[in-house]
Structure 1
């Protein structure tokens, strides 16, 4: 699957690339785990449909009652149609310079905080809904004061969210300018609890699959496929020993496409089929 460089694919006709801009995104078919290289921080104001984003250590899902602020980076995202058979959101991009200027103007200091998550979920309310209706790429196209208007819109939503969420949002904004990068081992080991494929984990590590495999063997002294399978099968055994779940409940979560393959791998690993786990 090709990598989508966002927002570059939306601003091919804008030179130089702006520090703040809005893009109206519409889609009429589901897209599952598309690879996205997000080079600017971005608000996703989802209006119709559902969105899920996979990060290095977890995933977050939002609906049209929520908005999402995403840190720039390599992410996998899934966009699903709603009953209206369309997916529609407004994307509001801003550069680190814009954010740094804002933080310097309205907060106490500008220094990097280490964030816990690369996203912030925003619960929509009447004010945010009204704000979203004022955002449209057509409104700000080829207008003499477009840049100034967008700068005001950026300050408006940021100030409102600071007022709504207080310190939690302020600290998150500071974390967006942090240059910290998640360690390789943290990304790999957090993937045990997901059903991500090796290629997808490599992408989240900002590596090609071949580079990822070489780096993995250096760190763990065995191939990533075997290591990950063993860890996930051990997790499956723990889940089954809990007594509340069956193999049919967990095989997808463990990274298998069908129950038969999972049962075979489990028996090869532990000598008994998953149905005999006590």
Structure 2
């Protein structure tokens, strides 16, 4: 699956280097785990459909009652139609420069803030619905005043969310301008419980599959496929020992396409079949 560079693929005037960009995104087919290189921080104001994203070990899912603010970087996006025949969201991109200028203007005491979560979930309300509608009007206008209006809209939504969420949102904004990158091991070990393929984890590490495998083996002294299988089977054992779940409930989440293959792998590792684990 090719990597989509966003927002670059949406920008018609390639010579224009804007710090703010709004785009109406619509689709009529489900997209699962598409590889996205997000070149700017982005608001995703979801209006119809469901969205799930993975980023360096973190995962979040939202519906039309919520919106997301996402940190720039490599993401895996899943976008699903709901009861409607179309998926629709308003995307609002902003650069680090625009964010730094905003924080300098409204917060004179900027401090580096380490935040492991690369997204912020926003609960939609009437004010945000009104904001989205006004943003659509500006984005479609395309006149000489659009940039100035977008700057005002950017400040408006930022100030509103600071007022709504307080320090929690302010701390998140500071984390967006941090240059700290998640260590390789943190990305790997945070993804153990997600049913991601090796090439998807490699993408989140910003590596080719071959480079990822080589780097992984150097770090863990074991091939990534074998290491992940052992970790996920151990997780399966813990879940089964809890007594509330059966093998048929968990094999897909552990990364197996069918129950039979899972049972064989489980017995090979632990010497006992999954159905006997809690007996």
TM-score, scaled to structure 2: 0.97
Mapped to 2, the partners of 1:127 and 1:101 lie a distance apart of 24
Q: Write the mapping of 1:160-239 to structure 2, written as runs, cut at 5 A.
A: 160-239=160-239
Q: Which residue of 1 aligns with 2:267?
A: 267
Deviation per CA, 1:228-267, whole angstroms, max 9, x where unpaired?
1011101111111111100011111111121111111111
Mapped to 1, the partners of 2:189 and 2:10 lie a distance apart of 34
- 5+ unaligned residues in a row in structure 1: which ranges? none
For residue 155 of structure 1, report the CA deviation from its aligned partner.
Answer: 0.3
Deviation per CA, 1:130-170, whole angstroms, max 9, x where unpaired?
11111127645431111100000000000000000000101
Secondary structure (helix, strand or coil) at the match of 2:91 reads strand
Secondary structure (helix, strand or coil) at the match of 1:215 reads helix
Mapped to 1, the partners of 2:144 and 2:224 lie a distance apart of 54
Mapped to 1, the partners of 2:187 and 2:255 lie a distance apart of 16
Q: Which residue of 2 aligns with 1:61?
A: 61
Mapped to 1, the partners of 2:137 and 2:273 lie a distance apart of 56
Q: Which residue of 2 aligns with 1:104?
A: 104
Mapped to 1, the partners of 2:138 and 2:164 lie a distance apart of 29
Mapped to 1, the partners of 2:95 and 2:119 lie a distance apart of 16
For residue 21 of structure 1, report the CA deviation from its aligned partner.
Answer: 1.2
Check conservation: 2:47, 2:89, Cα contact below 8 A.
yes
For residue 57 of structure 1, report the CA deviation from its aligned partner.
Answer: 1.7
For residue 89 of structure 1, report the CA deviation from its aligned partner.
Answer: 0.3
Secondary structure (helix, strand or coil) at the match of 1:60 reads strand
Q: Which residue of 2 aligns with 1:9?
A: 9
Check conservation: 2:138, 2:146, Cα contact below 8 A.
no
For residue 129 of structure 1, report the CA deviation from its aligned partner.
Answer: 0.8
Q: Which residue of 1 aligns with 2:85?
A: 85
For residue 56 of structure 1, report the CA deviation from its aligned partner.
Answer: 1.4
Secondary structure (helix, strand or coil) at the match of 2:35 reads strand
Mapped to 1, the partners of 2:16 and 2:226 lie a distance apart of 47
Larger mean CA deviation between 180-189 and 132-141 belongs to 132-141
Answering whether residue 165 of structure 2 is matched by residue 154 of structure 1, we say no
Mapped to 2, the partners of 1:80 and 1:17 lie a distance apart of 31
Q: Which residue of 1 aligns with 2:44?
A: 44
Secondary structure (helix, strand or coil) at the match of 1:135 reads helix
For residue 58 of structure 1, report the CA deviation from its aligned partner.
Answer: 2.4
Q: Cα–Cα, structure 1 residues 139 and 119, in superposed 2: closer, same or farther, change >3 Å?
A: closer
Q: Cα–Cα, structure 1 residues 276 and 135, in superposed 2: closer, same or farther, change >3 Å?
A: same
Q: Write the mapping of 1:68-147 to structure 2, written as runs, cut at 5 A.
A: 68-136=68-136, 139-147=139-147
Q: Cα–Cα, structure 1 residues 165 and 33, in superposed 2: closer, same or farther, change >3 Å?
A: same
Secondary structure (helix, strand or coil) at the match of 1:134 reads helix
- 5+ unaligned residues in a row in structure 2: which ranges? none
TM-score, scaled to structure 1: 0.97
Report the RMSD for the aligned CA atoms in angstroms.
1.2
Aligned length: 278
Mapped to 2, the partners of 1:225 and 1:148 lie a distance apart of 51
Deviation per CA, 1:54-79, whole angstroms, max 9, x where unpaired?
12122100010111000001010100
Check conservation: 1:66, 1:122, Cα contact below 8 A.
yes
